[in-house]
Amino acid sequence: MDGDKIQGEDLSKAKKYDLTSLHAAASHGHLDVVELLVGQGADLNITDYDGSTPLRAASSNGQFDVVQFLIGQGADLNKTGNDGRTPLLAALSNSHLDVVKLLVGQGADLNKTGYDGRTPLLAALSNSHLDVVKLLVGQGADLNKTGYDGKTPLHAASLNGHLDVVEFLIGQGADLNKADNGDRTPLLAALSNSHLDVVKLLVGQGANLNRTEYDGSTPLRAASSSGQFDVVQFLIGQGADLNKADNDGRTPLLAALSNSHLDVVKLLVGQGAALNITDHDGKTPLHAASLNGHLDVVEFLIGQGADLNKADNGDRTPLLAALSNSHLDVVKLLVGQGANLNKADNNGSTPFHVASSNGHLDVVELLVGQGADLNRTDYDGRTPLHAASSNGHLDVVEFLIGQGADLNRADNDDRTSLHAASSNGHLDVVEFLIGQGADLNMTGNGGSTPLHVASSNGHLDVVEFFIGQGADLYKTGYDGRTPLHAASSNGHLDVVEFLIGQGADLNRADNNDRTPLHAASSNGHLDVVEFLIGQGADLNRADNDVRTPLHAASSNGHLDVVEFLIGQGADLNMTGNGCSTPLHAALSNGHLDVVKFLIGKGADLNRADNDDWTRFRAASSNRHVDCAEFLSCQGADLKRTGYDGSTPLGSQSVDTEYPETSTSFKLTPPSSPRKRPIAPPKQIFETSKWEEEATDVSGQQAYAPPSPVTRCASLLDQHLIISQDPVVGSKKESGSVEKQVDNEANVQTSKTEQQYIDYASSEQVVEDVILDSIGASDQQSGSIRIEKYGIDVQFHPSEIRGVEDIQAVPEVPAELVDLLTEDQAIICVGLKASPSDAKFKYPVKVTMPHSAIFTSPETASIGIYHRKSSKNLYS
């Protein structure tokens, strides 16, 4: 090779994939090139894209001569790649045994693990290199060092069935009973792959036969579950516990039964395994065999004396277990052996019920032939005929009635077999039952006839049949609802059309004066609504609550129905009880799309109900933020008070006797501001001049707004607390107001606070200077204004003389901070009035701005901390 060219290159410069010339030469075994490059000063320990050195590259590819040379030149024997593997681990992974021996002989770290937790010894065991294992152990490799899964070298050898390696490791002192992270010992590892020779060796060397893994399985249970007959036989011979159960109470016998290993079952039973032992669900081996349909096993267990009628925790016998999965051959065997035909489970269902429900006619015939009770009821009062009728098994129904089953027997809900068949639309069964004399108009619980239930569930063919048989079209349930109500409520247009065609009354009302149109509108069935109105249904018919179909549709947010009803002339502003309109109904339930449509059609925005609750208050009191936001933008009156004196934004009250208050929200703890644009302003929670009827100075009561009115930014999770200087509005005898400033207060905004301000709004949040004029107070208005904070305090004019001064308290008192929990923060300046013992006849109205930003407005709640004076505690 041209030495001048070599000298002209940067020998350690990274090429594609960060491979240097030295990596390439070492990997391909070009010793002469490697020698030349190293002689020219190439870095021996430079790494490529995956962190591999030239030595690791050569080791991985079995380049013995290159490895030998690089070691001789001082290459780092234990430098790892990005996967944590050393040159020794790389050589072991690819079975380059000569390189492995060389590296070990040169002092490579024998216990250094890769990121997968495997040591060189574990790596060698994966390929069963006994000579390498001996070499590593001989050089001091840790016999019991585990990987991240807790497996030792003995686990690995046992799992893979390497008998010679297992024998060697045991001879060197490996721990026979050390468990991995799943509590599996080497013995359990060998069992999992059916390595009988390894199992025998481990047991012979003293492995614990009854040591359990994480789920409580012993080696015998594990072998029984997988049907390892020879292993099971060996373990029993060695004294394994036949009846030791796992964490679910399953013994080796139950495990073998679950997988139908009959030879293992017979072996276990022959060796004395308990036949009637139960698991945690109360199931015996006979339950397990019956449930899974293992006829030969069932036959064997019965022959050995298993209890035919032992019930599990759900009172299910083996017969019920077999019936539940339709194992008819097992059922016949159990019945033939004397199983109890009338023993019921914890729902009162007998084998007869289950067979009828599943439509097993041959079993039903067998049970009746054996004397099963035809009219035996379960705990719901249902007979086998109910069960067969409900699931449409006509052949079973015919047989049962032929045997004398009671046709009109009612269950606990007063529903007959005809109700059951009608409810599920089994026309053939319905026809047969009627033909046998079933009562067409018999009422069930609630007064529903079979026609009601068929109409409710939309079974047109059954409805048509009933009408043809003379069913009463106008018969009502106890609630006054007709079949037409039932069909309309559930949106079955075809049934509605048929019933009206047969003469059903469109405007017949139920006990609450609700018509079928009310029912369809309430549940949003537009097609039914259109049809009913087309047939002449009364559009503005009011129910007992004076609510029309439009109220019903608006309340449940069915915009398409609302649009149609208004298009047909429904009264937009008709008031129900309490004078609530459809708009009230939509707002109270937060249906913004309906709200927008109704307002667009001219609904009165500020019309109040009987409690003088406006539309805005209906939305804000139910915390429907988007609706309140929309109304605010539409010009809703935010200051209108109800009869209780509260505003839309202030309907919660707290009792207090103290004039000094601070308002708090429960908030998520703040994080640092995020350096990215926030959502549009409408998404920011920014209350502007909430009017709080805060405490009157005499301490009668205080009102606080219940919830945020606007959506908060989804991109922010911090909240804003801005410290400002206190400003006092003080009344002079002349009625003018003077300004007082605490010169020691901090009037500078911190860097963090300014970040919050910059992110929160493009408008200035904090005034930079204190205004010269802070307002005025006089006998006429009874008002004191603290302009700096936008605070306005209004007294009754006759009582303003009772106040000496009103002072803003922006700094949070230390004693209040100690009271706050982790998810609370003060977001409003406080207010202090003096004297503290002032008493007033009339409430004092305080208007105070609030500001906060947080991510979960739905979990926010308002509270007011107050105290009588600085000598008292906040509460």
Nearest Cα residue to 416 out of 446, 440, 398, 392? 440
Look at residue 487 and tell me if it is in a domain: no
Look at residue 793 and tell me if it is in a domain: yes
792 & 771 share domain:
yes
330 & 182 share domain:
no
End-of-domain residue from the set 54, 74, 109: 109
Which position has the token pair 């008493």? Answer: 839
Whether 595 contacts 587, CB under 8 Å: yes
102 & 174 share domain:
no
d(CA 403, CA 387): 16
Look at residue 358 and tell me if it is in a domain: yes
Look at residue 455 and tell me if it is in a domain: no
224: exposed, middle or buried (Cβ count in 10 Å: 0-12, 13-18, 19+): buried
Provide the domain count of the chain: 5
**CA angle, residues 240, 245, 251, in degrees to nearest 5:** 80
Whether 705 contacts 865, CB under 8 Å: no
Look at residue 736 and tell me if it is in a domain: yes
Whether 130 contacts 98, CB under 8 Å: no
Q: How many helices (H) and strands (E) does the chain have?
A: 41, 13
326 & 393 share domain:
no
701 & 824 share domain:
yes
pLDDT at 419: 96
Buried b (16+ CB within 10 A) or exposed e, 560-587: ebbbbbbebebbbebbbeeebbbbbbbb
710 & 826 share domain:
yes
Q: Give me the helices (H) in 505-647, please.
A: 516-522, 526-534, 549-555, 559-567, 582-588, 592-600, 615-621, 625-633
Reduced to 3 states (helix: H, G, I; strand: E, B; else coil), residue 690 is: strand
382 & 318 share domain:
no
Domain of residue 691: give its range.
Answer: 652-867
Look at residue 154 and tell me if it is in a domain: yes
Look at residue 180 and tell me if it is in a domain: yes
Which residue numbers in the chain have pLDDT < 70? 1-19, 127-128, 576-579, 606-790, 795-806, 810-811, 822-823, 826-830, 836-843, 848-863, 868, 870-871, 875
End-of-domain residue from the set 87, 109, 131: 109
350 & 204 share domain:
no
Task: Quote the tokens at residue 159.
Answer: 């799992």
Reduced to 3 states (helix: H, G, I; strand: E, B; else coil), residue 743 is: coil
The residues near 508 (Cβ < 8 Å, ≥ 6 apart) are 474, 482, 484, 515, 516
726 & 849 share domain:
yes
Nearest Cα residue to 802 out of 868, 731, 700? 731
Other CB atoms closer than 10 Å to residue 668's CB: what's the count?
16
718 & 821 share domain:
yes
End-of-domain residue from the set 173, 208, 243: 208
Whether 53 contacts 76, CB under 8 Å: yes
pLDDT at 628: 59
Task: Quote the tokens at residue 603.
Answer: 């609904």
The residues near 764 (Cβ < 8 Å, ≥ 6 apart) are none
19 & 84 share domain:
yes
Look at residue 559 and tell me if it is in a domain: no
7 & 83 share domain:
yes
> Residue 286 belongs to a domain with what CATH number?
1.25.40.20
